Each structure stands twice: as C-alpha cells, then as structure tokens.
Amino acid sequence: MSSDVAPGTAIPGTIAESRCLVIGAASGIGLATAERLRASGAAVIGADLPSARWPGEDPGSLPLDVTDPESVRAAVASAVQAMGGLDAVVNCAGILGPVASALGTTVEEFERILTVNLTGAFIVSRAVLPAMAAAGYGRLLHLSSTAGKEGVINMPAYSASKAGILGLVKSLAKEFALTGVTVNALAPGNVMTPLFQEVPAEQQAAQAAKIPMGRFGTPAEAAALIEFIVSPAASYTTGVVFDLSGGRATY
C-alpha cells in the first residue's frame, strides 16, 4: 500500500483532540456519528456521494465515491489538509441492493453491491492506513452487519459483502498491529436508518422477532459505540467485530 498523504504529527490523547473523517455522513449512522464526534469536541469532516442530500448546510462536507480510488484519495487529501492530519476514519458507506432471492439476483446486481460495500472498504483502507502507520497512530472502523455474521434470507449479496468486511478487517488489523493503528468493525443489527427503511415491512417484522431486547436500534446508539472505538481510549482492541444488535448476534 502507498499514499501521497503526509501524516499529521500530533497524536491525540482524547477524542476531543482527534481529527476524524466520516464517510457516508449525509444520513443514518454516518450522520449521527459525525454529530456525536463534533459534540465531543473532535474535528470532523463528513464525506458522501456527490449526489448526496445533506441535512442543512455543511460547509465541511466532501464529495467521495468509495468505488473510485482517485475520488477517495482526493477526499482524504482534502481532509488531511483541512485538519492538519487524520486520526480516525469511520466508513459507513454502503448499499442494500434488491431484497430478492439468490436466483432472483443477477450477477450484475451482486457485483455492484460487493463493489460498493466490500471493494469500497478496501479502497478506503488503502487510502488512509499508510499515513496513519507512518504517524504511529490511527483508528479505522468499517461498518459490517449481523447479515455478515449469520446471513439474511433474500439478501445474498449484502450478506456476502458484509461478511467480507469482517475478513478484511481481521486481516488488516494483524498487518498493522505494530504500527499504533487499530482496525475494527461494527456489526449493527436492525438500526432505524434510511437504508433499513428499504426492507419490506414483513421482513422487518420477522427480524424484530429475533431481537432479545424487542426493539430496533437507533443511529445515536451506534454513534455512541463508534465514538469509543475510534477514540484513543480503545488502544488495545483491534480486529474486533463490535456487536450492536440488541442481543441478537453477540459473537
């Protein structure tokens, strides 16, 4: 891996001293995370697709397409220049794709979902990890899903892409373990985001029945956990899949 992004020199002692890039920050968990980190005092830049609709004015937002290495490189470089370095990256970019049987899913649809969710995570990782390692500090978090742990009926491509993120994170965590950089994943279950609203009502009901807590999660709950994972306090945890499923998939 290589990067032309110069690392920052200051290693943060608290989340308030951290410089954070949140990808997929225009809505859902990404939006809640950016808001939470800002409220904690961190410097935060949000990024999302050029076509994304941001809630209100966000002059610090950047256009970023995770499937385009040059787009990712340019956005990361802009974030580093604006904040003077980059300590934490939260990658929330992802698509659900069609909710359909395996036989009803085309190869093109399957590949498109893997390209955004899995290849996109790899592209982001390549863009940020070298400079973090050179700086001797970094936090990288990718969003996976309980679908990646146990598979969800009629979501073969989404389940496969999120399972792939788990393997990617565990591999990268080992590769960068001696550099001061941690690489982790968050596996949300059913969180009330715009993405989850795409799931048919009958399937939402079936998934709700699997949750011991008896309710869906919220973006704010996800953001609270993410804040810890990407903080300096989470210094001895890497290659871990954090559960956010209300007790559904605590493994």
> Is residue 250 a part of any domain in this protein?
no
pLDDT confidence of residue 5: 45
| 5 within domain boundaries | no
Residue 241: CA atoms inside 13 Å, Cβ hemisphere, count?
Answer: 23
43 found inside a domain = yes
Q: What is the pLDDT of residue 57?
A: 64
Judge whether 1 lies within some domain.
no
137 and 129 Cβ atoms separated by less than 8 Å? no
| Residues 90-126 as b or e (16 or more Cβ within 10 Å = b) | bbbbbebbbbeeeeebeeeebebbbebbbbbbbbbbb
* DSSP β-ladder status, 62-63 and 88-91: unpaired
Helix (H) or strand (E) run with residue 183 in it = strand 181-188
Any idea what DSSP says for residue 179?
T
Please say whether the beta carbons of 161 and 118 come within 8 A: yes
CA 86: distance to chain centroid? Answer: 16
Residue 79 falls within a domain, yes or no? Answer: yes
Distances, alpha carbon 76 to alpha carbons 38, 56, 207, 251, in Å: 18, 23, 36, 33
- The CA distance from 142 to 148, in Å, is 12
Q: What is the pTM of this model?
A: 0.92
Q: What's the pLDDT score for residue 43? A: 97
Collapsing DSSP states into helix, strand and coil, what is residue 241? strand
Full pLDDT tens readout for the chain, 251 residues: 544 444 445 899 999 999 999 999 999 999 999 999 999 999 999 999 999 999 876 667 999 999 999 999 999 999 999 999 999 999 999 999 999 999 999 999 999 999 999 999 999 999 999 999 999 999 999 999 999 999 999 999 999 999 999 999 999 999 999 999 999 999 999 888 776 777 777 777 887 888 999 888 999 999 999 999 999 999 999 999 999 999 998 88
The tally of domains found in the chain comes to 1
In a domain, 170, yes or no: yes
Which residues are catalytic, by number? 158
Whether residue 249 lies inside any domain: the answer is no
Beta-sheet strand order (sheet of 88-91): 62-63, 43-48, 19-23, 88-91, 138-143, 181-188, 241-244
Output the domain CATH number for residue 162. Answer: 3.40.50.720
Could you tell me which residues come within 8 angstroms of residue 4 by beta carbon, excluding any fewer than 6 positions away? 73, 77
Q: Is 120 domain-assigned?
A: yes
Q: Report, in angstroms and rounded to the nearest whole number, the Rg of the chain calculated over CA atoms.
A: 17
Quote the pLDDT of residue 164: 98
CB 141 within 8 Å of CB 229: yes
Specify whether the CB–CB gap between 219 and 31 falls below 8 A.
Answer: yes
Its domain, for residue 228, covers: 15-244
Measure the CA–CA gap between 146 and 217, rounded to whole angstroms. Answer: 13
* Host H or E run for residue 185: strand 181-188
- The amino acid that residue 220 corresponds to is A
What gap in Å lies between CA 183 and CA 206, rounded to an integer?
32
The pLDDT, as a whole number, for residue 199 is 72
Please report the pLDDT score of residue 194 as a whole number.
76
pLDDT at 4: 46
